[in-house]
Structure 1
Amino acid sequence: MSSSTSSSDPADAQRRQDRAQGWRAGCAPDQGAWRRFFTRAVATAAISCAVVYAFVAAVDPWGVLRLHIPAERPPISTNARFAFAGLARSDRFDAAIFGTSTMRMLRPAALNEAFGARFANLAMNAATAYEQSRLFDVFLRAHPNPRAMVIGLDHVWCDAGPLQRYTPRAFPEAFYESSPWPAYREMLSFYAVQEAGRQFAVLTGMMRPRYGHDGYTRFLPPEDRYDAARAAANLPALPPPETPRQVDTPPSDLPMPPLALLDRMVRATPADTRLVLVFMPLYLGAQGAPGTGSAAITEACKRQVVAMAQARPGTVVLDFWRASPITREPTNYWDPMHYRDAIAERIEAALSRAARGSAGPSEDYADLTP
């Protein structure tokens, strides 16, 4: 008879059971430990988020918060819709330029002396009439009695279609409210963290700002890189020289929703503020051909703007959006909308003359001031 212990021995079975239970007990998670780990992870994440948010709010990359580190914040974002809301509130300025990229080549420093003012250039690439009106409101709330306002007018104001509010570029409505508190919501984003890092680098001298402190920056190539042949290849053909410039136009009450915004802006401008409305010099080949619906809409738009000026004494209206030595010459342009430095200087000179109340006669523009 065998002397070995049988596998069915109750004592051996008990030992195997005890070992299995011990193994399971060793591998089973400690519920208390898991709870402590989860609590610490959540607390660490919350503290990290709070520290990052506090950093963003303290740096205030766009200068739109009530409480922040005291420092002069230059615009740093490529999207001027974020960058200019704070600049429009700055007490360093008492005058402003509004418009699309057709106004961005105008230098505030070239206008300051003539207007006796301190200009900020708040023109934004591809800005809709609505976006421009919102920025205008921010500036006027911060500067109830500005010395001067210059508003550039182009196709976005003379649009007979439905009012377009936004473009594919993000527009932070919270930055444009009368209360600064909604802007704190915009600080909870990766974009805000990124821009806070950039602004911190600018404030500490580690990086140069993208825009000038008055909003102006050169966004076109340097003049020494101008290629006349390349520019001409991208310009539409000019109308035949014999084409008549007199065209029949529709009634002046042709619906143009953006002009309702402009009318509100004109009416809101204080009587003592020098207000200049400027139709910008679109290349002649890109202007509506005489006799077309596009030309008729443009003329109707101009009539409505002049009517607004009539309702506000002292408003100057200059029209560069016409056939002229500027708009006929291809070498004056980089593309159908953007003119070269010499043309910017001619526009600045006309605006400086308008600071005295009248720009006077010129082949470059028509003075439509009523």
Structure 2
Amino acid sequence: MSSSTSSSEAAGRPGAREANEARWAGFVRGFAVTAATVLLGTLALAWLIDPYGTGNTPLSLREGVRPQGPRTAAASRGRDPAFQAAIFGNSHIQLLSPEQLQAASGIAFVSLIAPASGPKEGLVLIDWFLRHRREPARAVVVGIDDLWCTADPAMPNAKPFPFWLYSRDRADYLVGLLRFDVLEELQRRIVYLLTGRGERARPDGYWDYEPNYIGMGYDRDPGKRAALEQPGPSGGGNASGPWPAVQALEAVMQAAPGTPLILVRPPVYRSLLPVPGSADAAADAGCRGAFAALAARRPLTALIDWRRDRSELHDPNQFFDRSHYRQPIARLVEAEIAAALKAMR
């Protein structure tokens, strides 16, 4: 007779089942404790080393962040005390240069644009910038394109945006740190902080898109040049309101009543200007009127309108596509902004 005991026999012994269940319960408890410890440890590390330079850490860390997308880099740039004014919007206002604006106005600008963003993202970034100023901001420049003409009070955004990063609610921020992309950024942040030699993202946030467009052939490809002449929808499709982005912008700016607000309707190529008498023209006029009314009732506010027939908008050599212009037009827009700011002094 074999002296070994089968598992079935062991399981049949008194108390064997209870012992097995106790072992599994102990394993589960140990696993849960280990997982919770790792999770809390990672969260504490992320909070302390502040991967995007939000200033939410109690530690004194190296200024700035490594090169990264503007959606996250704006957290660090927006709280930089070196800047007195900021540019907000998407790629339709992206080519405006903080350096050029400072040279023309004497005011230190930072670009807090986010490509492919709309009013919802822009308003969050404006709020972030204003609440991190030690002195009142000297100017806020906002690019008002068709997305700002929406009638939807939710102002939906088409591309992902880290709203948690700019939240006033600390709990939202901490929960937001529990993301895989944050884990990826942690190791890069540690290298940036500890070596002191890692490249820093450009502090003023300027991103010249011209090399990108030239690299894709927008200045010479016959098909792309032909597309420039094709009419397209404009105006935002909202002729009678409401315009929730206007109301939301006015509400955000209540925190800075003495700060000049410059509303810029960015340049578009002539093929994108609405045909007079069309539904697009009615929507364009309605949206323009809503922002013009804001400029009229709010002190220190000006509307600069480049969405109207101007000779510069008829030169195809000054555009890559219907809504992305080149440097010479950017200089003209900057000059008008500087002139508007000087007139407010």
Any gaps of 5 or more consecutive residues in structure 2?
Answer: 233-237
> 1:155: Cα distance to partner?
0.7
Quick check: 1:101 aligned with 2:94? no
User: C-alpha distance in 1, partners of 2:203/2:163?
Assistant: 23
The aligned counterpart of 1:234 is 227
- TM-score normalised by L of structure 2: 0.80
User: C-alpha distance in 2, partners of 1:158/1:38?
Assistant: 54
> 1:190: Cα distance to partner?
0.8
Shift in alpha-carbon separation, 1:337–1:53, aligned structure 2, 3 A: same
Is the Cα contact below 8 Å between 1:333 and 1:340 reproduced in 2? yes
Shift in alpha-carbon separation, 1:329–1:37, aligned structure 2, 3 A: same
The aligned counterpart of 1:303 is 289
- TM-score normalised by L of structure 1: 0.76
Deviations 1:215-238 (A, max 9, x none): 222344258645534241331436
The aligned counterpart of 2:208 is 218
Shift in alpha-carbon separation, 1:337–1:207, aligned structure 2, 3 A: farther
Is the Cα contact below 8 Å between 1:96 and 1:119 reproduced in 2? yes
Partner SS, residue 66 of structure 1: coil
Within 5 A, what are the aligned runs for 1:146-295? 146-159=137-150, 161-203=151-193, 204=195, 208-209=199-200, 211-221=201-211, 225=215, 227-230=218-221, 231-237=224-230, 254-271=241-258, 273-295=259-281
Residue number among 332, 340, 343 corresponding to 1:354 in the alignment: 340
User: C-alpha distance in 2, partners of 1:142/1:171?
Assistant: 20
Quick check: 1:324 aligned with 2:314? no
Deviations 1:171-197 (A, max 9, x none): 333333334443111111111111222
Is the Cα contact below 8 Å between 2:148 and 2:245 reproduced in 1? yes
Identity between Structure 1 and Structure 2 (%): 28
Give the count of matched residue pairs.
327
User: C-alpha distance in 2, partners of 1:57/1:267?
Assistant: 31
The aligned counterpart of 1:72 is 63
Shift in alpha-carbon separation, 1:346–1:202, aligned structure 2, 3 A: farther
Is the Cα contact below 8 Å between 2:265 and 2:307 reproduced in 1? yes
Quick check: 1:334 aligned with 2:320? yes
Aligned CA-pair RMSD: 3.3
Any gaps of 5 or more consecutive residues in structure 1?
Answer: 1-14, 240-250, 359-370
User: C-alpha distance in 2, partners of 1:193/1:287?
Assistant: 45
Shift in alpha-carbon separation, 1:261–1:200, aligned structure 2, 3 A: same
Deviations 1:232-260 (A, max 9, x none): 13314369xxxxxxxxxxx9964323222
The aligned counterpart of 1:49 is 39
